[in-house]
Structure 1
């Protein structure tokens, strides 16, 4: 922008510069976000709206039959099983991930080891689907490498006690990505704890336990609970890993949705949409609670 000087010597924008400034001020702020808003509309908002409409239409007419079918025992059991699996993996994965994040943030360790753990966590937290299922089958399946190695050394057949195509087997596989995801989510929160806080607490006579209980925990619990909610939603919506390992042997909502969408016998588009609507309600509720907790955390960590 070209500048001109007024008689007092203060630089002023040239006429061309003033025109550009007025033009920039005249552009609405949402224009820059238009591509993102368009993307969200096409790939998120419109599909969700279409799914909700489909869940209330049967044979082209408005009907509550598909939604009412969710209350049948086998489908209620699917929601209960999915919620239980999500709660279990979120709780165990959250506890182990918290320990891992604490060690990475506060412990003394070689730089190469920290970089290695962080790199692995970043990759493992996003791994899932058929690739993860195959990796566990090749490791702990009936003919898996670890199974055969342990069988040869100890005579114990791990595959008899660790059945991947079961509720507990799925929980074990889910922990592979839940633990590193929790660690990645908590690392920024641990990094935001100011070093002066424990020093100030100790100078006032507080013990380490008192500092953790009265200072660190009240600040850390919102990001901890928020991360647990994200882990819950992450496990609740997992489909490919569960389907590749268990198929129809574990009654889970994502697997049922796949059956009703693409199944030759069980095909029912309206009821599949009703199942998805139920999932949306649960996941959106969890994410809404996480958003509220994030706002509380940001007030402390500014």
Structure 2
């Protein structure tokens, strides 16, 4: 029997620690950043936000958007195939456990450690680069330049592909085994089943996962900075320069760049919430 005291407690009391944590470590920093982006030398100003529209900074947002979109699409496609193979293919249990364990680790790996791993493997003096050079005479580092846009795409795919696989595995679990059997018994082909049944059910989680991959890549900083430094014009790298740079230090404009990133990421996450609402209808 529930005591009268427990009955009087509001339902949100149990979530209070989480709400406090989110307020202190998420909402307050975001609010402080937005305020800083509209203050120049202690006074309210739109100068920092207006500066975002200058060509070199607008180009940084375009480059970051293109990098995030490209890695989300490629990583999403490959990760989707990987998740499909794990969910439906016949394979030994040890192999599935190995792939799942690697995906869980790789999806969270990033920063300087990941950059160093690629430099040690595919850099000018990397193990694979030197091995290929000795065996074939082909200098792999001339074709794969890690400190470039295409090099960053390759490195980002290392964590984008397994992340997509992990996100999509539960969605494949929502496809009941009876559905294709029923469709085939009624004369539907495999393609017809995929187009008319599987795809309408799967597109919301696929779209939501792609949006999460986009946001994940858009906010990545340490990996891009360790590999490319200032050679690729990306928003996270610019933020680092304006926060810690001796010459380019500008706290207000750095906050404005962060505010611009927040707008893009919140828009992506908002779209993800909308498509996830549609996918929940198939889980009951």
TM-score interval, smaller chain: over 0.9
1:210 alignment counterpart = 192
Q: Distance in 2 between matches of 1:62 and 1:204?
A: 68
Q: Give the corresponding residue for 2:126.
A: 144
Q: What is the aligned partner in structure 2 of residue 9 from structure 1?
A: none
The aligned residue for residue 30 of structure 1 is 12
Structure 1 residues without counterparts, runs of 5 or longer: 1-16
The equivalent of 2:83 in structure 1 is: 101
Q: Deviations 1:133-173 (Å, cap 9, x if unpaired)? A: 00000000000000000000110000011000000000000
Q: Check if 1:87 corresponds to 2:84.
A: no
Hey, what does 1:11 align to over in structure 2?
none
Aligned mates of 2:27, 2:5 — CA distance in 1 = 32
Mapping 1:140-289, distance limit 5 Å? 140-289=122-271
Give distance in 1, aligned partners of 2:228 and 2:39. Answer: 31
1:56 aligns with 2:56: no
Q: Deviations over 1:170-204 (max 9, x none)?
A: 00000000000000000000011011111111111
TM-score by length of 2: 0.99
Tell me which of the two structures has the higher relative contact order, counting C-alpha pairs closer than 8 angstroms and 6 or more residues apart.
2
CA RMSD of aligned residues (A): 0.7
Tell me the CA shift for residue 22 of structure 1: 1.3
Equivalent in the alignment of 1:112: 94
Match of 2:272 in 1: 290
Q: How does 1:65-76 map to 2 (within 5 A)?
A: 65-76=47-58
1:122 to 2:104 alignment:
yes
Alpha-carbon shift at residue 119 of structure 1 (Å):
0.4
Structure 2: any 5+ residue segments left out of the alignment? none
The offset of 1:69, in angstroms, is 0.1
Matched with 1:13 is: none
Moved over 4 A (4+): none
Number of paired residues?
284
Q: Deviations over 1:116-144 (max 9, x none)?
A: 00000000000000000000000000000
Q: Which has the larger radius of gyration?
A: 1
